[in-house]
Structure 1
């Protein structure tokens, strides 16, 4: 099947890259369903072409003659908002549509002036969109199409209050599309409640990892993770490496250690200014830095062309996030490698990932890094009450010391 067989308009087809010969499975399934006006719950692996699966038919269904907000794509991160907008820009231009990106890190005054130009499509993060709604800088009364990209993340508690406010500001009668690579069971009902008689499309088994990804897991001491990372990076000539770490405050520290070891590196996390985040990601994509140490900000939807390797310096607390992390490699039919450095304290997390993905994920030894840590017994070294009492005693001592200095 070709894109021309999917009833997309000739101007839209003309904007597709020459390298894009045939639609992916999720594109073959979703594009006709979106054009037919159906609500969708669409599940497909990372790197499977979900953006064009919803983006192409979304653009075709908008009316360029009406300068009102007709379509909205909600995404969890600024980086993904920018990427989705860029992916849709050529098609929108060909159809005479205005696309506006609304996310934090950009002056609201600038975005307000752009809203006055009458964009038909918004690509937004929930927080910034809610802010502009509360200031009555825009309205969603004419909205006809809503896309929740990385839908499982948007339905989590951190985003849900903003999502509820946004949903209440738009017409109840609309076409809603929810796209995701993973959907935990506890979010299934919530997702279904947002959709009207939805068609469920599964291009791949739910929560699955692409077969083209080779996964290697090494058991190492907790204190030996960064030395092991440095050793791996020096032994191999990988041109680009995306390193995931869970804690924001640790990303910069790890990056400093890699830089001290002579490895070109940048760090990316949510506490950095938007311009710094864009610079770090741009330098990584262009090859100016070899290694990007990132939090799970980078786990969702961000595309890096032909990224050969992802390394988990720690396992994510949420098993679905593992699927998203490793899915940054082996995109668009390419093969890739995902390495995880695991310590004994992450045994429960690893078990949850194995259960979710249905993969064995055996642990191997990393040459030169013998494991001397002992497996956790699961028991606390001291009863919780004793710990609390100890903290209270320490606090009293601190107060006494402070008063004595006065």
Structure 2
């Protein structure tokens, strides 16, 4: 039997069966951290939203669930990151087997208080497309130890199938930057990637070109990335209107004006210090900001570039060989497009690995054998009955919500499926 190696963040697991495996990028600072919620229904524990599993089905054991019908006021889930982070984006995976509409609208709160409802809000009321399994919300560097998801309003139920929090994912920070010209009194191109987002030009944090046709600024990321979004911080002490309209170009040519354009002519609100422009799936080494037209001046107080791993970059590591045999471990990096739900594999890496002895295969029904191990059979039976009781709970709740039928599912039904009291070893 072939052995498959699964490598996750430096930890090696050997299993005896051929199974598909997904390893999530370790930029997610919420993974495995302590999680909490204002109430819990059935098996929907808050830790499920940070366990790395993104199945959108409640019965798969990967989604949270606050108090059932009729719900509660302002149900909230939160994670303690253990320390304060500058949060770039929060990705929320919604339930898809039913009731996906329950999530809308929702709020995200980020801050250092464990009284999470008092922390600052990232944006306003967010809405997820009910046909999409997840949404990525840009929080543009909001800082905090606690990240919360709240449903504003009364009689609501919160279910989350995964929450990912990405911090420090700005791939433009400190990279080489250029522009078509520089104003005589200062305004060098590298000011837009120095990590400072002060919007006053006289603080020496903003770029400035001369007045010219189609002025442009660009950053060399050093290698191609699949871009998720570009955040632009505009000047606010004066002249904020100069930025409108602007273009964003992304590609691999250092002749940046020839690279593909992200969207059309973008506009920023003049009282708005920053704008986040989504560029889903665009790939390139160079990201440029250009002002189309004649006699224009370009000033940027910061440009941040976020890559697709904030929403779905995965690594899959596999190896097949016999015990004691040295084989090559092939690491492929898949980049997934959220809209088309397709992936490509732009790069791979090969290293050598010597296979250990196989782990014994877990016995199961597919072996067509009779298993006489009573303890193992008892454990499996308990697991099946727990799953059955969870399904009963869910079905009862569904009936109540679809017409108020008086469905019994309380203490009177427990004697039929009382997992704790049953002795399966007899």
Q: TM-score range by the shorter chain?
A: under 0.3
Q: Report 1 or 2 for greater relative contact order, CA contacts < 8 Å, sequence distance ≥ 6.
A: 1
Normalized per residue, the structure richer in helix is 1
TM-score w.r.t. the length of structure 2 is: 0.26
